[in-house]
Amino acid sequence: MIMLTNDDGINADGLAALREAFAAATKTAQGPLSGQKIVVVAPDSERSACGHSLTWLVPLHVDDVSFPHSDVPGVAVTGTPVDCVKLAVRMLSPRKIDLVVAGVNRGPNLGTDIFYSGTVSGAIEAAILGVPAIAVSLGALESPDYTAAARFAAYLAGEVLARGLPAGTLLNVNVPAMPAEEMAGVAVTRLGVHRWEDTYVKRQDPRGRTYYWLTGHALDEREAPGTDVQALRDNLISVTPIHLDLTAHDFLPQLESWGLSDWGGAHAKV
């Protein structure tokens, strides 16, 4: 069974495109997705930029959802993408979930965006639970067309099901906002930076209290060849393997050399 989720909410167009592409692929007579069951478990409303947020101070409520002209079952959850994945893997699905696909997100998730993205976090949660996962985002916020991104996701899902992924590894995909025939190809990439110009708009609410509202935009900077940021800029579909291990392995020997064991323990004079 393949679970689809997102952070734009269960009624988002990107998730509908993903569902339609996967439903079509599962109904083909042959192919890697042939005969696979699909389930959509997604937040009941938009949770973009919720990161790896997990709900545990309040309960989660779920509602069955049916989609027009579709036999794919849906479940709307009063939580985040991480909640959806954890709940589906642990509780909801009577069959083992073989793959989680999150998206298609409205807007790219490149470089350090992955720390904020609920879409990528849904895939990260799957990897934590030992389920192969793909996050898919479209490099456009305005009048997005998710068709090509959803089709590529279904193709990549077939490859992942056939080949598997190493433990603790997920794939983060960003698709340029253009018809498939205009794309320059597919690039396997590493994470770039994707710096943002953060701006807080400062205003007064109707009760006279000051509030701040984050806005801003991604900086239009060139980045190193081989990064996800530059690949998308070059009209390539970017596929980045991401590992759960955030350890700065290169820095380990130097940190060892700091001799932190000398801190003095109970006799420390700090």
Q: How far is the CB of 161 from Mn ion (least distance, A)?
A: 25
Examine residue 44 and tell whether it contacts Mn ion (CB under 5 A). no
The reply to whether 7 sits near Mn ion by the rule CB under 5 A is yes
C-alpha–C-alpha distance, residues 94 and 170, integer Å: 24
- What is the chain's Cα-based Rg? 20
Q: Are 146 and 13 in contact (CB under 8 A)?
A: yes
CB of 261 to Mn ion, least distance (A): 45
Contact pattern from residue 46 through residue 85 relative to Mn ion, giving x for each residue in contact according to CB under 5 A and a dash for the rest: --x-------------------------------------
Report in angstroms how near the CB of residue 106 gets to Mn ion at its nearest: 6
Interface region with Mn ion, contact rule CB under 5 A, candidates 82-90, 105-113, 154-162, 186-194: 105-113
Q: In terms of CB distance, is 8 or 228 closer to Mn ion?
A: 8
Name which position in 105, 121, 174, 240 contacts Mn ion (CB under 5 A): 105
Range in contact with Mn ion (rule: CB under 5 A) among 97-105, 127-135, 175-183, 199-207: 97-105
- Stretch of 40-48, 60-68, 127-135, 188-196 contacting Mn ion, by CB under 5 A: 40-48
Residue 113 as a binder of Mn ion (CB under 5 A): the answer is no
Q: Which residue lies nearest Mn ion, judged by its C-beta? A: 48
Helices 147-163 and 13-26, axial angle in degrees (round to 10): 50
Which one of 2, 4, 8, 36 is in contact with Mn ion (CB under 5 A)?
Answer: 8
Size of the site for Mn ion (CB under 5 A): 4
Query: From the CB of 221, what's the least distance to Mn ion, in Å?
Result: 22
Q: Is 166 left (phi over 0), alpha (psi -120 to 50) or beta?
A: beta
Residue 20 interacts with Mn ion (CB under 5 A): yes or no: no
Where on the chain is the footprint of Mn ion (CB under 5 A)? 7-8, 48, 105
